[in-house]
Structure 1
């Protein structure tokens, strides 16, 4: 039953409890990620009723255009935030890398969960299963929808060619396996692991090959800032080390005003045992071709979100 902006449920004993509605994208990976968050909340709050609300975003619908050419920073978040604003959901689970650094008024990040492996991975066509990107034949075509990945990998592996490939994880793997258009595709290692497809990873790309996207591998829970009860509930999911690293990454991205159209690559490490400082090397690739290295330092007391 509905009462004001919230949804409630009455159990067999007549007890009324609020239903916490969790917004997510419809893709299989998004559902797996959201289910993992819901499972953690259910374990912590067994009496809470949770409901998953799945929806499609602009980025899910436009599959014939490179992400960098769509001209929208909130490709995978806008519809979810609209549902949050209309009180159709109470919190939203995002891949943090998809979430713009400046949130709409009235919204806040309630939790950033422990980060999965943030690095990118190469998945090679079965006929190249014994090779690496370095040993692939000259002019082999590598599929990626990311300017960030393409710019770095072109420099690191100049004998390879790079071509755009769109679609969810399942679709891109199917395109790789069923055709011979691509010798390999580049995907986030975290997504492959969460899908249970670790065995498809041919090569993990370290920072010397390809630095990762800001927030890659981390999940964020976005909520309405006024919902203090929801904020308190999800705050226990916060992982301090992940938060420290991602705060620094997002502060740098905000400084550059980057989004899907501005490829920015990072590599973060916590340097001392007190976790007081975090050094970060970064590469800003504003034209998709040039690489600009640098380093910044962030203290634990600084905040970017």
Structure 2
């Protein structure tokens, strides 16, 4: 991946402001004794909060971190179909409420769960380094071609229908381990999980399940998949703005540009992924495409190319 210049980072955050408040790197102005991190209470969310504390702590020596567990609407209503009710804000609203009420200082999110529009009261100021971002097909042992696949994601379903045109689709809810146990018990032949989630939980194998990572050209991940995002009150944004990974910030910006241009959310059959070399995207009307940006292109030029793609799809 090309190096991202500090001036580009400043331009990127200003240029991308229409999708939220974004701030450049700058040195911390005050010492922060303690930072309270708001997160969901699932094992994966708690692990992500630990990772956020490690990342932020590496940039703010001596700062202590406290994890504040928040139960979101998406956690409370396990009977809801995310596709039917929509995923926008289901896993973030109550966490943002904790920021607004002063219960927490920083919210930790899976970037793919962020709503398309961020309230002016809040700022997404930082991103942890992206690692794994692929989707993983989790098949019950002994199953060759699954006939019943559990996923509530229109994006995953639309892309996997090409691989499994005869499959019937259903939905299962719950944390990662719960969903894997349901596959073992026969609730479905397979489900689709995030590689990042499995990696963060340390799950490389599971009794009764076979994992098949899906190539990026086969199933384009959700926008921001594999990235942990950090959010704070807008009034605190400058205080935390230096705590970010510039490569992840650029990846998220380009992917988000595609999503926001189309007006889609996490329950739309759109997908985009930038790995530093190729920009892959999927749209339900045109299918899969992959492009590379011109050598030396800056963030403004890349935004322009993405905007051009969106104009042909909208």
TM-score by length of 1: 0.80
TM-superposed CA distance for 1:72, in Å, is 5.1
Name the CA shift for 1:224/1:184 in 2 (closer, same or farther; >3 Å). Answer: same
Please tell me whether the aligned partners of residues 92 and 221 of structure 1 are also in contact (alpha carbons under 8 angstroms): yes
Equivalence for 2:14:
none
What is the aligned counterpart of 2:49 among 31, 34, 37?
A: 34
Please tell me whether the aligned partners of residues 220 and 272 of structure 2 are also in contact (alpha carbons under 8 angstroms): yes
What is the aligned counterpart of 1:108 among 97, 109, 123?
A: 123
Q: Does 1:301 align with 2:299?
A: yes
Unaligned runs of 5+ in 1: 1-15, 129-134, 272-278
What is the aligned counterpart of 2:259 among 236, 253, 272?
A: 253
Q: Does 1:142 align with 2:149?
A: yes
TM-superposed CA distance for 1:80, in Å, is 0.6
What CA deviation, in whole Å up to 9, does each residue of 1:45-100 have, x standing for no partner?
34222211011111111212221211451111000111111121111010000012
What is the aligned counterpart of 1:80 among 90, 95, 98?
A: 95
Supply the distance in 2 between the matched residues of 1:162 and 1:252 (Cα, whole angstroms).
27
Please tell me whether the aligned partners of residues 143 and 164 of structure 1 are also in contact (alpha carbons under 8 angstroms): yes
Equivalence for 1:208:
217
Supply the distance in 1 between the matched residues of 2:142 and 2:292 (Cα, whole angstroms).
44
Is the partner of 2:248 in helix, strand or coil?
helix
What is the aligned counterpart of 2:274 among 265, 268, 273?
A: 268
Equivalence for 2:250:
244
Stretch of structure 1 that moved more, 86-95 or 67-76: 67-76
Q: Does 1:164 align with 2:171?
A: yes
What is the aligned counterpart of 1:96 among 95, 111, 125?
A: 111
Name the CA shift for 1:228/1:97 in 2 (closer, same or farther; >3 Å). Answer: closer
Is the partner of 1:283 in helix, strand or coil?
strand
Aligned alpha-carbon RMSD (Å): 2.3
Structure 1 residues 122-137: aligned runs within 5 Å = 122-128=137-143, 135-136=144-145
Supply the distance in 2 between the matched residues of 1:264 and 1:17 (Cα, whole angstroms).
39
| Count of matched residue pairs | 266
Please tell me whether the aligned partners of residues 223 and 230 of structure 1 are also in contact (alpha carbons under 8 angstroms): no
TM-superposed CA distance for 1:152, in Å, is 0.8
What CA deviation, in whole Å up to 9, does each residue of 1:138-176 have, x standing for no partner?
xx2111121111111012221322211111212111211
Is the partner of 1:123 in helix, strand or coil?
strand
Please tell me whether the aligned partners of residues 155 and 267 of structure 2 are also in contact (alpha carbons under 8 angstroms): no
Q: Does 1:222 align with 2:234?
A: no
Please tell me whether the aligned partners of residues 244 and 300 of structure 1 are also in contact (alpha carbons under 8 angstroms): no
Equivalence for 1:132:
none
Is the partner of 1:23 in helix, strand or coil?
strand
Is the partner of 1:127 in helix, strand or coil?
coil
Unaligned runs of 5+ in 2: 1-30, 304-314
Supply the distance in 1 between the matched residues of 2:286 and 2:79 (Cα, whole angstroms).
27
Supply the distance in 2 between the matched residues of 1:17 and 1:118 (Cα, whole angstroms).
32
Supply the distance in 2 between the matched residues of 1:84 and 1:268 (Cα, whole angstroms).
30
Instruction: Tell me which of the two structures has the higher relative contact order, counting C-alpha pairs closer than 8 angstroms and 6 or more residues apart.
Output: 2
Q: Determine which structure has the larger strand proportion and give its number.
A: 1
Equivalence for 2:158:
151
Q: Determine which structure has the larger helix proportion and give its number.
A: 2
